[in-house]
């Protein structure tokens, strides 16, 4: 055996694994310097997850029922509770989860390629881009695990493809794990639909390969059924959470804001036409005054929305801030903040004393407003059961421009101030910040006013770690925009060559699927940005999931294009025959 081939076979895997292990430990060590930004005043985000996690630790499910109990999925509070039991710092655990997800994905990607130096270089390149991702969620937000769960879902579907022809027991185990990852992903945030095009494409290709191998034999149906097990696992997890909520609160639902009673009531409010439409005003004052006259149920909320009690809401900083974001909405309730005002008003009126009472009220409100629409007492749009404002023709040019400005914003990696905490400290009283630290086992940025900025209070070692992370961020900010523009030409070239040679590979389908997920999420955020709240500029949290997917697509699309070109040249050289003398 030639020396070079022997070195490649014996030492290349060892060198690759050693390098990946060393870089992983380095990144975990660097991340230990990052502190949590506790925001105990945010009853709708961080404080909600903290309270629910403590309730889980006390074996009380999500705690006593109120207007926030079922406002969001339960996965992140479950994660916080589990992390507290383990006793690790939360940010370390979330970095470790991200690392594990990347390693699982790396192992599955390796099985798609032929072994060799080029494959190892490609995998190392991807892993370096992935592991040193500059975005770190420093607040207690669901995005701290959302990117990792997304990567695990995609890795799970790749694993199904890699083990299609293996034993059915092994395929079953991988399908079950993929379903658990999908369930955790779905229960973390409410807009999981954006990943469905990717999973549909990958599942369709997997079924096609099964058909190519087994046709419509009994083996095909057995293995196809196993590959569809993640869907059954997701449905079972949703049933489990819904049943648990029903046992504790009396309603069979996962998240109230997606339940039929609430979406019917809020959708009824949204469908009433505005005499003078102003963007970001979903149910403005003039519309509310009309609905008060048409719906006795909604009129009960008037003191809490438009009366003296309603002024309390206008003093809340996260509502009054809408005037800074959208001056045209002042002094009204702008954007999606009105939904939280509406929920709080229902609670103040006493209808959140139980989940059944709340559902009954929402049913009554929806019936009264829809009846007024049907009788033309109110001028309304078609029946709506959603919390999303109806699409208007004015949104079309805004969607186009926001899509591209949003893409540019993402590629600029606007994470420096957010991650490193230079822009401020924890917000809330000391007791609230201490409660965050107690749950997360993590140091929090101080909340006291005055004194040295957070960066000055760090140790010399932590300052060094943060300076390294900042330098890495600067490199990404300089290189990522240029490199990302290679994705589309590489993907188009791969598609053309694949169609020319009638050879569509799983890697090509994977790249197309990831691109569809990125575009789908970007469209969702663009619509949110033009109609509800600043999805791009308010916090980087909503764009954090883009980066690992972007790194996968960047490396794999270029690698696939190069591979397709090499295959094309190889086939051309093989088919060329020298004429005899």
Q: Say whether pLDDT at 3 is over 50.
A: no
Tens of pLDDT, residues 410-430: 998 887 766 665 445 777 777
Q: How far apart are CA 278 and CA 535, in angstroms?
A: 19
Q: Say whether pLDDT at 438 is over 50.
A: yes
Comparing CA positions, the residue from 497, 503, 539, 546 lying closest to residue 521 is 546
Tens of pLDDT, residues 220-275: 999 999 999 999 999 999 999 999 999 999 999 999 989 999 999 999 999 999 99
Q: How far apart are CA 210 and CA 231, in angstroms?
A: 18
Q: How many other CB atoms are found less than 10 A from the CB of residue 94? A: 23
Q: Which token pair is 244?
A: 């648990």
Give SS3 for 309.
coil
pLDDT range class, residue 545, cuts 50, 70, 90: very high
Quick one: pLDDT at residue 43? 81
Q: Say whether pLDDT at 6 is over 70.
A: no
Beta strands in 182-238 (DSSP E): none
Sign of CA dihedral 386, 388, 389, 393: negative
Mean pLDDT of 82-106: 95
Quick one: pLDDT at residue 566? 81
Tens of pLDDT, residues 268-317: 999 999 999 999 999 999 999 999 999 999 999 999 888 776 555 554 55
Quick one: pLDDT at residue 541? 84
pLDDT range class, residue 86, cuts 50, 70, 90: very high
Q: Is the peptide bond before 6 cis (omega within 30 degrees of 0)?
A: no
Quick one: pLDDT at residue 332? 85
Q: How far apart are CA 528 and CA 408, in angstroms?
A: 17
| φ/ψ bin of 329: left (φ > 0), alpha (ψ from -120 to 50), beta (otherwise) | alpha
Tens of pLDDT, residues 314-332: 545 545 667 778 888 888 8
Quick one: pLDDT at residue 579? 53
Quick one: pLDDT at residue 576? 54
Tens of pLDDT, residues 40-54: 877 888 889 999 999
Name which of 7-11, 16-20, 101-105, 489-493 the model is least confident about: 7-11
Q: Which token pair is 179?
A: 């379903």
Sign of CA dihedral 145, 146, 147, 149: positive
Q: How far apart are CA 520 and CA 527, in angstroms?
A: 11
Quick one: pLDDT at residue 502? 83
CA atoms within 13 A on the CB side of 168: 11
Task: Quote the crossing angle between the two packed helices 168-186 and 143-162, to the nearest 10°.
Answer: 160
Quick one: pLDDT at residue 378? 94
Mean pLDDT of 553-576: 81
Q: Say whether pLDDT at 400 is over 60.
A: yes
What percentage of the chain exceeds 70 in pLDDT?
A: 90
Please calculate the CA angle 491-540-154 and round it to the nearest 5 degrees: 45
Tens of pLDDT, residues 506-517: 999 999 999 999
Name which of 141-150, 300-309, 374-383, 487-496 the model is least confident about: 300-309
Give SS3 for 444.
strand
Quick one: pLDDT at residue 455? 56
Contact 203, 157 (CB under 8 A): yes
Tens of pLDDT, residues 162-210: 999 889 999 999 999 999 999 999 999 998 999 999 999 999 999 999 9
Task: Return the residue matching tokens 């995998």.
Answer: 123
Quick one: pLDDT at residue 315? 43
Mean pLDDT of 394-410: 94
Tens of pLDDT, residues 455-479: 566 788 988 998 999 999 999 999 9
Average pLDDT, the chain: 88
Give SS3 for 36.
strand
Quick one: pLDDT at residue 318? 47
Quick one: pLDDT at residue 453? 53
| φ/ψ bin of 406: left (φ > 0), alpha (ψ from -120 to 50), beta (otherwise) | alpha
Q: How far apart are CA 351 and CA 122, in angstroms?
A: 58
Q: Say whether pLDDT at 4 is over 60.
A: no
Q: How far apart are CA 575 and CA 558, in angstroms?
A: 26
Q: Say whether pLDDT at 525 is over 80.
A: yes
Quick one: pLDDT at residue 239? 97
Q: How far apart are CA 543 and CA 192, in angstroms?
A: 14
Higher pLDDT, 167 or 4: 167
Q: How many other CB atoms are found less than 10 A from the CB of residue 460? A: 7
Give backbone dihedrals phi and psi of 411, rounded to 5 degrees, phi first: -70, -20
């Amino acid at each position: 055996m030639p020396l070079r081939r022997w070195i490649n076979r014996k030492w290349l895997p060892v060198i690759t694994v050693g390098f990946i292990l060393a870089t992983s430990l380095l990144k975990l060590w660097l991340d230990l310097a990052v502190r949590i930004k506790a925001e105990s005043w945010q009853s709708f985000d961080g404080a909600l997850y903290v309270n629910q996690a403590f309730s889980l630790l006390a074996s009380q499910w999500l705690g006593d029922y109120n207007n926030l109990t079922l406002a969001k999925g339960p996965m992140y509070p479950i994660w916080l509770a589990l992390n507290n039991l383990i006793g690790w710092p939360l940010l370390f655990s979330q970095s470790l989860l991200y690392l594990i997800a990347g390693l699982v994905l790396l192992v599955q990607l390796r099985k798609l390629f032929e072994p060799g130096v080029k494959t190892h270089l490609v995998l190392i390149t991807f892993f370096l881009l992935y592991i040193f991702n500059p975005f770190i969620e420093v607040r207690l937000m669901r995005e701290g695990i959302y990117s990792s769960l997304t990567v695990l879902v995609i890795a799970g579907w790749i694993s199904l493809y890699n083990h299609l022809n293996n034993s059915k027991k092994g395929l079953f185990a991988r399908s079950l794990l993929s379903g658990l990852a999908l369930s955790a992903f779905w229960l973390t945030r409410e807009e999981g639909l954006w990943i469905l095009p990717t999973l549909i494409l990958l599942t369709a290709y997997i079924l096609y390969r099964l058909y190519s191998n087994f046709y419509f034999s009994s083996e095909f149906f057995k293995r196809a059924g196993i590959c569809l097990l993640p869907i059954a696992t997701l449905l079972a997890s949703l049933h489990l959470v819904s049943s648990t909520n029903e046992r504790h609160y009396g309603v069979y639902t996962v998240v109230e804001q997606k339940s039929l009673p609430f979406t019917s009531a809020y959708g009824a409010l949204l469908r009433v036409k505005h005499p003078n439409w102003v963007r970001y005003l979903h149910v403005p004052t003039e519309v509310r005054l009309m609905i008060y006259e048409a719906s006795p149920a909604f009129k009960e909320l008037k003191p809490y929305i438009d009366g003296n009690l309603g002024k309390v809401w206008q003093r809340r900083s996260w509502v009054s801030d809408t005037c800074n974001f959208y001056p045209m909405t002042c002094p009204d309730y702008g954007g999606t903040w009105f939904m939280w005002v509406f929920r709080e008003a229902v609670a103040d009126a006493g209808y959140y004393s139980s989940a059944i009472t709340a559902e009954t009220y929402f049913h009554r409100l929806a019936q009264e407003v829809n009846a007024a629409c049907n009788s033309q007492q109110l001028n309304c749009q078609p029946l709506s059961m959603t919390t999303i404002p109806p699409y208007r023709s004015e949104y079309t040019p805004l969607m186009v421009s926001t899509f591209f400005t949003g893409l540019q914003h993402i590629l600029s990696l606007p994470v420096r101030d957010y991650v490193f905490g230079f822009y401020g400290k924890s917000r809330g009283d000391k007791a609230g910040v201490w409660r965050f630290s107690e749950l997360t086992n993590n140091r929090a940025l101080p909340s006291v006013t005055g004194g040295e900025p957070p960066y000055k209070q760090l140790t010399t070692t932590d300052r060094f770690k943060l300076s390294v992370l900042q330098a890495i961020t600067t490199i990404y900010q300089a290189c990522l925009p240029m490199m990302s523009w290679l994705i589309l030409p590489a993907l188009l070239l791969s598609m053309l060559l694949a169609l020319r040679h009638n050879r569509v590979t799983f890697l090509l389908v994977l790249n197309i699927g990831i691109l569809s997920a990125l575009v789908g999420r970007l469209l969702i955020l663009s619509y949110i940005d033009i109609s509800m709240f600043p999805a791009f500029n308010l916090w980087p949290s909503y764009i954090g999931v883009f980066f690992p997917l972007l790194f996968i697509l960047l490396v794999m699309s270029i690698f696939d294009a190069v591979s397709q070109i090499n295959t094309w040249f190889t086939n051309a050289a093989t088919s060329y025959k020298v004429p005899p003398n």
